[in-house]
Amino acid sequence: MTELWLASGTSKFGERTGGPGSTLQTLARPAYRRVTAIDSGAMPAVLLFLVGGALLGALLMALGASWMYAIGARPGLGRRLAGARGISVGEVSRLRAAPSRAVRVAGRVRCTDPLLAPDGERLVAFHRDVEVQSSNGHWRTIERLRETRSFELWDHAGSLAVDPAQAAEPLISIPLVWEGRPEELSAEHASGVARIAAEEGPPVAARAVTRTISEVDRLLVLAEVHMDGRSAARLDPPRGGFVISSLELDAAMRLLGGPHRRQLPVAIGVLAFGGLLLVVGVLASLASWIAAR
User: What ranges do the domains of the chain cover?
Assistant: 1-40, 42-73+257-293, 86-248
Contact present, 203 and 197 (Cβ < 8 Å) = yes
Q: What is the pLDDT of residue 64?
A: 75
Quote the crossing angle between the two packed helices 264-292 and 45-70, to the nearest 10°: 160
Residue of 264, 288, 270 whose CA lies nearest to 75? 264
82 Rama sector, left if φ>0, alpha if ψ -120 to 50, beta otherwise: alpha
pLDDT (tens digit per residue) in 253-283: 888 876 666 766 777 788 788 888 888 888 8
- 274-275-279 Cα angle (round to 5): 115
Q: What is the pLDDT of residue 56?
A: 84
Residues forming a β-bridge with 170: none
- To which H or E segment does residue 48 belong? helix 45-70
Residue of 156, 146, 30, 143 whose CA lies nearest to 88? 156
User: Rounded to two decimals, what is the model's pTM?
Assistant: 0.68
> Mean pLDDT per segment of 10 residues, for the chain of length 293 residues?
44 48 52 48 68 82 76 78 94 89 96 92 96 91 96 94 95 94 93 92 94 96 88 90 95 80 73 84 81 72
pLDDT (tens digit per residue) in 152-169: 999 999 999 999 999 999
Q: What is the pLDDT of residue 42?
A: 54
